[in-house]
Every structure is written in structure tokens, then in C-alpha cells.
Structure 1
């Protein structure tokens, strides 16, 4: 079977990330974790990764993009760039759920440490105590759908007893103290989004023909964007 090479884009959080994957396996990923760099660096990262791996866009089978939920600005830039590439190179477009990609990446990073009594809860920071989150089993089956939620001490009480829920992603830093010493909730800080986490899901979508309409595809913002202005002192 010939290699199906997919260019993958992840801009749902502060991390600006590009990856190349062949048949669902990440070849290379390049992540830049700096604030407000997506507009300035995304296209440059794409060209750099393509050039350094000796690829042209005609060598690609598709372009995949993390579709949300996440940062309004980041998602808009990532999806717009992906759509532009697909238009220019006549390539299929794949949209990958951001939280599902995070769960894939976390499970791969902690292989052998996640069992059937573990629930995975990727979180993306929203405002104040609110996060975008979902819950998955150790087999990455959805248990709780994607939603915007304000986290409190009882947020995970409805999950099955005697099971551990692991919280990770950009939304967990504000939760470390809240769940310190909690028997059933473990907070793992430091996990960052990466386009390399999308590889298996993107390849499976391509194989199953689950492609987006390039003309009409929009990010999954989950919540409407609300512009704010700085208060005068």
C-alpha cells in the first residue's frame, strides 16, 4: 500500500504546531509554544517542514486541521490556512476534534500507565474557571461529550465510582490546588497540544472518506466569540 502522507495543523491553543504523518504514523512535528504566533509563523512552519522533508504539496494525500473547540483566533487561522492549501493544491480536507486528538496524544505519552479503570479528560482553558472538555475511556471511547463547563468540586462525581479521572491540557493549571489530594481525580500539568497527536485520527478519517467540504467548513468554536475592550483606568 502506498504511503498516504498528511500535513497536519494544530492551532487550537497557544501552541502553533505542524506535523507530517504517513499512514497514521507521525514522521515529524514542529511545535512553537509562544503567545500570539499563529498568524506570523504558521505558514513559515508549513513551508519549512515540507522543504526539510523534500516534499511538495502534490506528494500529500490530504491536509488535516484541529477543528476545535479552542481559541477563536487560533482556530480561525488554522482552518483558514488549511482551506487555502486545499484550494491551491486540490487536496482533501480533514477536520479532527481537538479534544479527541489530545486524548490520543496523552494515551500515547503514558502508554502502559492507563488501564480500564482510568478516564481521560482533556481540557482547554476558557475564561475564569471554565474549560472546554470531554471524557474518554482508556479505549478512547467518548463517555462525556464535548462541552463548555465551569469546574467545581463535584464536576466528576457522576462518573463511575472507583475509577480515576485524569485531567490534562491547557485548562488544568488552575485546577491543581482544587483537586490536590483528591482520591479519584488526578491533575497532570504540562501536557501541550501537538499536530502529531492528530495522526491516527486523520488517517482513519481519510480511509473512511470522512472529509470536509472545503467551501463550507468552519471551526467548532463551541461558544460564540465575544470581543472585549480594555477598561479605562
Structure 2
């Protein structure tokens, strides 16, 4: 019997779920403008208690491999690694973009369609990935500044192009004037609830991450602007 704890913190939604052999037992999603650090551990403890499980009952921990918020991903991964190390259980990674696509994969039964999950990267930039009707990747995850001709190759090849995620509305507002093949799906965000089947499949195939070296794909390099305030050293030069 396998119990997998899933953690998703790539966006302002702090999401935790527990699956039993791929089937959802319980999940909690909290929308947080501030850091996930104060809420994540209590959510995990409450969820385990709700499922009448102990930490020692967990078989693995699944965590977002990105892309998304640098701080959010670091908090989720640090918590997941700590649990895996303490419990001596494997670490699994799940793409935030794939977890979004899995929510809408049965939205359209047609085959000549594609799905583009988008996570906001500020202004007109998004993290995205293009998948087919069977979740098969068409274009790998990347970051992109949306322009009117960004997906011309897709509208030439597919009957429908579905956009979703917290970066998709700004893209749709621009692209809907280019072609009526673009369709926006509202209310789709990365959530641990939809990690179940993907995480369980990786668990069975022993596709584990290295606890020491695994890092999420942030989508682009982290940039921390230099403070304009003068430091103590500057004032004393």
C-alpha cells in the first residue's frame, strides 16, 4: 500500500494532497499572497490527521519541479526534501504545467488540438508548455514574451489551441484577435490534487530524484535587484 504526499507551491496557491495508490484521499488549497513557509507544515499535519495517517505511513513525497515562483518552489522543495530525508523515503517531481494540463485533458475529445498551460512571469511574459490531446509534449517548457505571432505555427497545424493558467488571460486577450482557434479556459491552476496518477506512475517505475542534487526548473534565472538603500559599509567609506 503506497501513500504519496504531494506538495505544490509554484504559485500563490499553497496546495497539499495525499493519494493512496494514485487515488485522491484528501487535499487542501490555500490562496496566499504571502510566503507559504508558515502554512505548509501545518497543512501537511492537518491532512495526515484527517486521513488517519502518520508521517511514517508515507511512501514518497511528490513536489513541483517548476516552473513558477522562485521562493515558492524553494519552500516546497525544502519541505519535501526534509521529509524524505527524515523518513528515508523517495522524492518524486511533477511539472506544474503538466498538473494543469491533466485537469483539462478530457475537455475536448478531438485529436487535432493542443493545450498550453501558462504560469504568469510578470508583464507579458509567461512560462508555458505545449501538449497534445494525450499529454504528449509538442514543445518543451520555456518562457516567452507573448506577441501576436507567438503561436502562428500552432494555429496553422491545429483546429483548437486551449490556453489556461494564471498567465493565460493576458495572452488570450492579445491572441483572440489573431485567430478564433484560441480558446481560454478559466480557473485552472497548479494543484497537488492532480498529482496522483503521475506521481504513482513515477513511484512504480522508481523514477526518484536525488535528494542532494535535485533542483526545480525555475523557468529563468533568479534575479534579486540590488537595494538602493546604503549599507553600513557604504556609509563608512
Partner of 2:195: 198
Partner of 2:112: 117
Gap change, CA 1:93 and 1:131, over 3 Å in 2: same
Partner of 1:179: 175
> Are the aligned partners of 2:5 and 2:60 in contact in 1 as well (CA < 8 Å)?
yes
Q: Deviations over 1:154-188 (max 9, x none)?
A: 11111243421101011113224213353111122
> Are the aligned partners of 1:62 and 1:91 in contact in 2 as well (CA < 8 Å)?
yes
1:114 and 1:126 map into 2 onto residues whose CA distance is 30
1:114 and 1:227 map into 2 onto residues whose CA distance is 44
Q: Deviations over 1:122-173 (max 9, x none)?
A: 0000021110000000100000110011111111111243421101011113
The Cα of 1:115 is off from its aligned counterpart by: 2.1
The Cα of 1:83 is off from its aligned counterpart by: 0.2
The Cα of 1:229 is off from its aligned counterpart by: 5.9
Give the alignment's TM-score, normalised by structure 2: 0.90
2:21 and 2:217 map into 1 onto residues whose CA distance is 26
What 5-or-longer segments of structure 2 have no aligned partner?
230-237
Partner of 2:80: 82
> Are the aligned partners of 2:103 and 2:188 in contact in 1 as well (CA < 8 Å)?
no
Partner of 1:134: 129
RMSD (Å) for aligned C-alpha atoms: 1.7
> Are the aligned partners of 2:61 and 2:89 in contact in 1 as well (CA < 8 Å)?
yes
What 5-or-longer segments of structure 1 have no aligned partner?
none
1:162 and 1:47 map into 2 onto residues whose CA distance is 45
> Are the aligned partners of 1:179 and 1:186 in contact in 2 as well (CA < 8 Å)?
no
1:67 and 1:130 map into 2 onto residues whose CA distance is 19
Q: How does 1:67-78 map to 2 (within 5 A)?
A: 67-78=65-76
1:168 aligns with 2:167: no
Q: How does 1:46-61 map to 2 (within 5 A)?
A: 46-61=44-59
1:52 and 1:103 map into 2 onto residues whose CA distance is 28
Partner of 2:211: 214
2:226 and 2:173 map into 1 onto residues whose CA distance is 31
If you compute each CA radius of gyration, which structure gives the higher value, 1 or 2? 2
> Are the aligned partners of 2:114 and 2:158 in contact in 1 as well (CA < 8 Å)?
no
Give the alignment's TM-score, normalised by structure 1: 0.92
2:158 and 2:61 map into 1 onto residues whose CA distance is 41
Number of residues of Structure 1 aligned to a counterpart in Structure 2: 227
1:26 and 1:4 map into 2 onto residues whose CA distance is 12
> Are the aligned partners of 1:175 and 1:187 in contact in 2 as well (CA < 8 Å)?
no
1:193 and 1:84 map into 2 onto residues whose CA distance is 22
